[in-house]
């Protein structure tokens, strides 16, 4: 008997007492909880996202769409990045001011090759303000999960206000659960029983989030 057969057999045995007319799963759990906490304007929701991202030690920048390429180029230059991995579907105009070597994300890239890359630039699927969480879903402008876990520096672009929602329940409504979702709340970090924080254990030590709007805005580093 294979492992697959053993697992399916256990599932089947666990379901033997479930009646055919039992309440479907999607109806069995009440979902009348709050979808967001408080009433905020769009601007207040974006401000809350920036505040919570910074609280998680992400570095937050704000700019207009016309300034985005220059901001990304400057952030990579200040980082001293000599190479940057790029998802195949990333908007090319975002990288026109980048001097670093651009490495396109490919299935053939090994973890060792990615470990030698200095930075990664991606878009995102959605961002939840109340938790300061950014979600990537593996779309062409975000690439495979590994490119945001191996390089030590991640620049993530969030479109404001289109990709910003108040809460996790609202974010879930926008996401496809069959896609490979990566939930990011600040740079990778963990702590031991003494609460000594260590960054970069499961992903990048530095997360820079660029909140980009089609309206002119002074850059804000939180």
Could you give the CA distance from residue 87 to residue 63 in angstroms, rounded to a whole number? 22
Q: Strands across the sheet with 133-136, in order?
A: 164-165, 126-128, 133-136, 182-184
Q: Is 46 helix (H, G, I), strand (E, B) or coil?
A: helix
Domain residue spans of the chain: 38-213
For the chain, the residue count is 222
Name the residue with tokens 């939180």: 222
Greatest CA span in the chain, whole angstroms?
Answer: 64
Closest CA to 179 of 121, 150, 138: 138
Could you give the CA distance from residue 172 to residue 185 in angstroms, rounded to a whole number? 16
> Quick one: pLDDT at residue 222?
45
List the chain pLDDT tens, one digit each, 222 residues.
899 999 999 988 888 887 777 787 777 777 777 778 888 999 999 999 999 999 999 999 999 999 999 999 999 999 999 999 999 999 999 999 999 999 999 989 898 999 999 999 999 999 999 999 999 999 999 999 999 999 999 999 999 999 999 999 999 999 999 999 999 988 877 776 766 777 766 778 999 999 999 876 555 554
Q: Alpha helix locations (H) across 80-214?
A: 111-115, 168-174
Could you give the CA distance from residue 205 to residue 151 in angstroms, rounded to a whole number? 9
Q: What fold, for 38-213?
A: Rossmann fold (3.40.50)
Give the H/E segment covering residue 137.
Answer: none
């Amino acid at each position: 008997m294979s492992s697959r057969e053993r697992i399916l057999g256990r599932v089947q045995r666990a379901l033997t007492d479930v009646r055919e007319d039992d309440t479907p799963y999607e109806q069995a759990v009440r979902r009348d909880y709050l979808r967001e906490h408080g009433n905020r304007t769009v601007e207040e929701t974006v401000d809350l996202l920036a505040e919570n991202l910074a609280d998680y030690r992400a570095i937050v920048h704000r700019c207009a769409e016309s300034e985005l390429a220059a901001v990304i180029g400057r952030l990579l230059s200040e980082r001293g990045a000599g190479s940057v991995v790029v998802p195949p579907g990333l908007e090319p105009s975002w990288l026109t001011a980048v001097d670093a070597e651009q490495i396109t994300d490919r299935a053939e890239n090994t973890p060792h090759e990615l470990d030698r890359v200095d930075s990664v630039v991606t878009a995102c699927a959605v961002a939840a303000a109340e938790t300061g969480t950014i979600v990537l879903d593996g779309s062409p402008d975000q690439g495979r999960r590994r490119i945001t876990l191996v390089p030590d520096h991640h620049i993530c672009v969030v479109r404001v206000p289109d990709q910003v929602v108040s809460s996790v329940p609202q974010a879930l409504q926008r996401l496809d659960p069959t896609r490979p979702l990566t939930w990011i709340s600040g740079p990778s970090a963990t702590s031991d029983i003494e609460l000594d924080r260590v960054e970069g254990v499961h992903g990048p030590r530095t997360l820079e989030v660029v909140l980009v709007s089609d309206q002119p805005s002074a850059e804000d580093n939180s």
